[in-house]
Amino acid sequence: MQIAIDQPFPEFSLPAIDNQGNQTTESNDSLKGKKWVLFVYPKDQTSGCTVEACSFRDFKSEFDAIGVQVFGISRDTIRSHSNFISKQELTYPLLADAGGPWLKANGLIYDAKMYGKPITKVARTTFFIDEAGVVRHIWENVTPLDHASAVLDWIKSNS
The SS3 assignment for 18 reads: coil
**Exactly one of 16, 40, 49, 96 is catalytic; which is it?**
49
Cα(94)–Cα(19) distance, integer angstroms: 9
Beta bridge partners of 2: none
Closest CA relative to residue 150, chosen from 77, 52, 81: 52
Pairing of β 68-74 and β 117-122 = unpaired
54 is catalytic: no
- Residue 10: which residues within 8 A CB-CB, separation 6 or more? 2, 3, 102, 105, 106
- Residue 129: which residues within 8 A CB-CB, separation 6 or more? 9, 31, 35, 36, 37, 38, 135, 136
Active site residues: 49
